[in-house]
């Protein structure tokens, strides 16, 4: 019905939306940072709340007529605090990067030293990349991972003692091991640094106890809402109560104007869904599916960084095949699988080419796939890598992936 309304006004946009729906329905989604929202979350994004301007915090707005959006935003805050066990939550950030920016603005001054994970080793753009605000305005010292894809905590401590950072960042966009938040806290305390945990990728696992929580240890916890958390595209910044006022001011008026109240409503819906028992089962299945996919890939001769995964994602190392992540990502798309090129530790290729592919299972888990299905997905990927120049074999693999899409219809 909604598409019919759009079609009556703008047939071009409606047609492209229909095409995107068909693409999602007929593709195995293995981009680790993507997921499928519930229809309720999607519906909340398209409500009359999009009409309301609400600069400021609930009950302290710069506009009148905010009593309803105040109540919705407070619901989202309350649910977030309950879900993650935090003292304060600001649900206004438009993205995870802006949640991170709010922490930087509050906790640091330009030129302060920050210790964060290197982007090429699994960190995020907003953890200190030179092309990002975080790397442009702050002195960034980076830590990485060893050949097994693991953080060397002794090395992190050594670097912290040498550079005396004002803030240490833990959390990643491509790290397949359990993060030791307690160890990071011990290092931060040794040098008197703030600790920021970016759990954008593992939010659902943290919320359900499938991954240790940083809430007890970190001064600030940031997340997106659209990855494993399965909500709308947006961000949240959480903190201890002592930082609440400063973080709120950093979000507004520090880095943003009016919040997107329709998206905040969708965040509230997603957070309620995440508090249900079914969501815990979903998170457990993510772990099972990720392990099944990694095992399938390795049993078919593929190399996985770290020889497996402890969360929702993994990195396929293509170096021994002499193939690049850029090329294989395109090959996988030919066989009906979307994934993204990604660097491997000490990658000889540029970040625009890479020697790896990042694979994540949250979206396929939402769709309903189980361990046996992930075994089939692993076989398809392995055969696509080994037969990347054989169009006939790739066409056969496309048929196999389509059968899985048909088995688990979307929307």
Give catalytic residue positions.
Answer: 53, 55, 198, 224, 227, 233
Cross-strand pairs, 170: 197
**Is the Cβ–Cβ distance between 230 and 202 less than 8 Å?**
no
Cross-strand pairs, 151: 145
Cross-strand pairs, 194: 167
Is the bond preceding 253 in cis, omega lying within 30 degrees of 0? yes
In order, the DSSP letters of 143-204 are E-B-TTS-B-HHHHHHHHHHH--SEEEE--SS--S---HHHHHHHHHHHT-EEEEE-TTTHH
End-to-end CA distance of the chain, in Å? 14
Determine which helix (DSSP H) or strand (DSSP E) holds 212, and give its type and residue range.
none
**Contacts for 330 with CB less than 8 Å, ≥ 6 apart:** none
Q: What tokens appear for 104 in the block? A: 């930087």
Burial degree of 403 (CB within 10 A; 0-12, 13-18, 19+):
exposed
**Is the Cβ–Cβ distance between 124 and 343 less than 8 Å?**
no
Cα 252 to Cα 56, 76, 137, 204, 351: the distances in Å are 6, 17, 20, 27, 34
Place of tokens 């021994």: 320
**Is the Cβ–Cβ distance between 178 and 310 less than 8 Å?**
yes
- The length of the chain is 411
């Amino acid at each position: 019905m909604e598409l019919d309304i759009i079609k009556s006004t703008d047939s071009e946009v409606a047609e492209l939306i229909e095409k995107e729906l068909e693409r999602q329905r007929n593709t195995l989604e293995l981009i680790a940072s993507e997921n499928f929202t519930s229809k309720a979350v999607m519906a909340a994004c398209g409500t009359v709340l999009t009409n309301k301007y609400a600069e400021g915090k609930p009950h302290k707005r710069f506009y009148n007529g905010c009593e309803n959006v105040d109540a919705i935003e407070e619901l989202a805050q309350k649910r977030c605090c309950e879900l993650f066990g935090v003292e304060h939550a600001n649900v206004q950030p438009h993205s995870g990067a802006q949640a991170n920016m709010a922490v930087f603005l509050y906790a640091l001054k330009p030129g302060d030293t920050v210790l964060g994970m290197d982007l090429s080793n699994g960190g995020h753009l907003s953890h200190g990349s030179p092309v990002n605000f975080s790397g442009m305005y702050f002195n960034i010292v980076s830590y990485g991972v060893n050949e097994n894809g693991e953080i060397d905590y002794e090395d992190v401590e050594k670097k912290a003692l040498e550079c005396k950072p004002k803030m240490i960042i833990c959390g990643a966009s491509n790290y397949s091991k359990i993060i030791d938040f307690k160890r990071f806290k011990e290092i931060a305390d040794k040098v008197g640094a703030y600790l920021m945990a970016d759990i954008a990728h593992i939010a659902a696992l943290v919320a359900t106890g499938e991954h240790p929580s940083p809430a007890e240890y970190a001064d600030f916890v940031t997340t997106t809402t659209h990855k494993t958390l399965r909500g709308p595209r947006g961000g949240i910044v959480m903190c201890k109560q002592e930082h609440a006022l400063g973080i709120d001011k950093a979000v507004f008026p520090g880095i943003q104007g009016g919040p997107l109240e329709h998206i905040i409503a969708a965040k509230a819906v997603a957070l309620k869904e995440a508090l249900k028992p079914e969501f815990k089962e979903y998170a457990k299945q993510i772990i099972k599916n990720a392990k099944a996919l990694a095992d399938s890939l390795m049993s078919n001769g593929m190399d996985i960084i770290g020889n497996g995964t402890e969360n929702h994602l993994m990195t396929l190392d293509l170096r021994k095949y002499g193939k690049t992540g850029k090329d294989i990502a395109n090959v996988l798309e030919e066989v009906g699988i979307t994934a993204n090129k990604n660097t491997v530790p000490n990658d000889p290729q540029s970040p625009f080419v890479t020697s790896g592919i990042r694979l994540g299972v949250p979206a396929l888990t939402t769709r309903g796939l189980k361990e046996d299905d992930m075994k089939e997905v692993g076989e398809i990927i392995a055969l696509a890598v080994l037969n990347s120049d054989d169009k006939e074999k790739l066409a056969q693999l496309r048929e196999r992936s389509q059968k899985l899409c048909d088995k688990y219809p979307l929307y």
